[in-house]
Amino acid sequence: MSDRSLRGMRLGSQSMETEAGVEPAPRQRVEYRTEDGERVFVIFAAEAEIPPTWTAKSGKVAVLVDGSKPDVSHEKPVRTHWDMLLERRSMEELEQTLQQRLESYRERHAV
């Protein structure tokens, strides 16, 4: 039985293709800088559109070096459900409603 077993290489672990004659796509290295001076380098394809801002690993927003400043839009900020609720109710009303709902819940689920 062992003389009939199939032998071969590990599938998926090794490529049969060689990298001879393969040229990588042209690239460009772009520098961004945060307000506190942190430098961020990002590599893009040569034909890619470069964004004016980039978020660094630290979470800070970095601006393109030697580029135009990003347009500051004067759009309205996004309103959350909480913001809309506060437009209709005061904090005192919300506290009263919460206490009423808690009492109702406790009455229904009393042990």
Which DSSP helix (H) or strand (E) runs through 27? strand 27-33
In this predicted model, which residue has the larger pLDDT, 76 or 83? 83
Question: Do 34 and 60 touch, CB atoms closer than 8 A?
Answer: yes
Q: Given this model, what pLDDT does residue 22 score?
A: 85
As a whole number, mean pLDDT of residues 54-66 equals 90
As a whole number, mean pLDDT of residues 34-59 equals 92
pLDDT band at 8 (very low <50, low <70, confident <90, very high): low
Q: Tell me the pTM.
A: 0.47
Query: Regarding the domain with residue range 27-64, which homologous superfamily does it belong to in the CATH classification?
Result: RNA polymerase-binding protein A (2.20.28.270)
Between the CA of residue 36 and those of 40, 90, 110, what are the distances in Å? 12, 40, 56
> Looking at the chain, which residues constitute the CATH 2.20.28.270 domain(s)?
27-64
Between the CA of residue 55 and those of 12, 27, 65, 67, 88, what are the distances in Å? 35, 20, 14, 16, 36
In this predicted model, which residue has the larger pLDDT, 68 or 75? 75
Percent of the chain with pLDDT over 70: 82
